[in-house]
A and B are shown apart, each in its own frame.
Chain A
Amino acid sequence: MPERQLITGNEAAAEGAIAGGCRYFFGYPITPQNKIPEYMSEHLPRIGGVYVQAESEVAAINMLYGAAATGAWAMTTSSSPGISLMQEGLSYMIGAELPCVLVDMVRGGPGLGNIAPAQSDYWLATRGAGHGDGRCLTFAPASVQELYDLTGEAFPIAQKYRNPVMILADAVLASMREPCTLRERLDPPQEKPPWAVGGARKGRQRNIINSLWTAPPVMEEVNLRVAQRYEQARQNELRWTEHGADDPEILVCAYGISARICQTAIEHAAEAGVACRLIRPISLFPFPVQVIADWAQRVNKVLVVELSLGQFIEDVRLAVEGACPVEFLGHTGGVLVTPEEVAARIIEIA
């Protein structure tokens, strides 16, 4: 049996990426994710990979654009203010139909904020990716093991949909240690994708990587192609977990670290006689609409818990479609919710 190791979320994201086939890393330091570039700078060169500490986040995302254009399996990681700086580059990558993987270890904001845990980049991650009609495919792990697994899986997903994939975590997940089972490192495929640039050999038409399409009908065609891939992702990439009662009064919706907190909270609530079911979306875009819609028909109320002032709740409300009242509990600016606080709120609204 492979050994369980006690590692931080940052180490899990870094090793998970390498195990998933990442061989190129471009980044710029920011707390609370500095352990990722540190790990990459040590491990990537040893296996023939490339680590570059860029002069800024803007440079890092554009290096990623260049590497991705050649078919390289590449990534960057940052935390909230750094991810803001990368928005332009992300938009260009979506326009150019380029795959890459990003990890956002979210910290308190807006502005420079602080280094404490938050989930206030939900809109940035699921709606953002700069201007235009594109989005990142976004996945939110809730444990060190899942951070390891998802970061690795993100690479083939990015290639499949030719789109950036965002792993949305937070300062708790970044710094906490949990047992993690590591698997063997996979190599990225030898053969480059047919769209990659890198010198057109005889007989092959040259490839062009570009996001400038001056003729509106051509731009529309690109956008429709990208949208069609999002539709495919809706068919294939929806992920969530469910915990708790089969006949609940309250449906609790939370993602990432908040969902872990809610998992203990619904146990407290059950002891107080309130039956709850917890749905934890793992894929945030695409969003698991149907499962929430179905449960919303069967409960008295929905409680949304998040470490922001009401971002994730918008997706839950869209899924619930008025079937029952949707209540909210959140903290912001780096303040955590506790299981006790969530349990008290569940009991209050029941």
Chain B
Amino acid sequence: MRQEVFMAGMGGQGVLLAGQLLAQAALEAGLELSWFPLYSPEVRGGRATCTLVIADGEVGSPVVGQPGSVILMDGIAVDNHLHRVRPGGLAVINSSLTGGEVSRNDIDIVVIPATNAAMELGSERATNMVLLGAYVRASGVVEAQAVEEALYRVLPERHYDYIPTNVAALQRGAQLAEGQLV
């Protein structure tokens, strides 16, 4: 088993945190993994990406040209990275910030209004969690429960107050993805 997920969005959307949570969940599941972030030096308005490779043996390259799956958090991410997904792969896209029109029919696509859903839950900043919840549901790479538990390992204790909102957002994402899976 070797699964790659590339995540991209604007700085501040929590691209790296979403990747770290998935990485932590994979670690707890006893898998090998590599999480590699790449972001621009701007304080605001920069681009953030991370690549996560999860394997049951040696990870090999942490760098992936054509990822098997992607989570794209805004329109620029879709423009820059949707074409890179390997045929037969999976894309989870935030339609709240992209308009939702998608130009590929050779991959599985889950399009969900993640930012709107997060705002309904009381925090726009939980957009990343809605998308991650959808991805975990659609890919089955780790158990949803493991991602929720990973919040306690990845977040500093002073942010534990936010965990219930994050868990709700993860679950909302899974629900939204459910409706789109064949």
Please list the residues of chain A having a beta carbon within 8 angstroms of any beta carbon in chain B.
4, 6, 31, 115-116, 172, 175-179, 257, 260-265, 267, 336-341
Query: In whole angstroms, what is the CA distance A115 to B35 when docked?
Result: 18
User: B164 within 8 Å of A by Cβ?
Assistant: no
Contact of B23 with A177 in the complex, beta carbons under 8 Å: yes
A155 to chain B, nearest CB (A): 27
What is the CB-to-nearest-CB distance from A13 to chain B, in angstroms, rounded to a whole number? 16
- What's the least CB distance linking A124 to chain B, in Å? 23
Report the contact-size class of chain B (Cβ under 8 Å from the partner). 20 to 34
Known contacts A6-B24, A177-B23, A340-B66; A265 and B38 CB within 8 A of each other: no
Residues of A within 8 A of B24 (CB): 6
- Cβ contact of A179, chosen from B32, B41, B58, cutoff 8 A: B32
Contact B32 A339 (CB under 8 A): no
Please name all residues of chain B whose beta carbon is closer than 8 Å to the beta carbon of A261 when the two chains form the complex. Answer: 61, 63
Chain A hits for B87, CB < 8 A: none
Q: Are B64 and A176 in contact (CB under 8 A)?
A: no
Q: Tell me which of B32, B35, B61 contacts A265 (CB under 8 A).
A: B61
Question: Nearest CB to that of B154 among chain A residues?
Answer: A6
18 CB-based A-B contacts, threshold 8 Å: A6-B23, A115-B41, A172-B36, A176-B34, A176-B62, A177-B20, A177-B23, A177-B34, A177-B36, A178-B33, A178-B35, A178-B62, A260-B62, A263-B58, A264-B61, A338-B66, A340-B65, A341-B65
Q: Assess A267 versus B33: contact at CB under 8 Å? Given A6-B27, A339-B65, A340-B66.
A: no
- Listed from nearest, the 4 A-B pairs whose CB atoms lie closest are A338-B65, A264-B61, A264-B60, A340-B65
Chain B 45-80 residues near chain A, CB threshold 8 A: 58-66
**CB-based nearest A residue for B41:** A115
Q: Which residue of A lies closest to B19 (CB)?
A: A177
Interface membership of B12, Cβ < 8 A? no
Which residues of the other chain, A, contact B36 by a CB distance below 8 angstroms?
172, 175-177
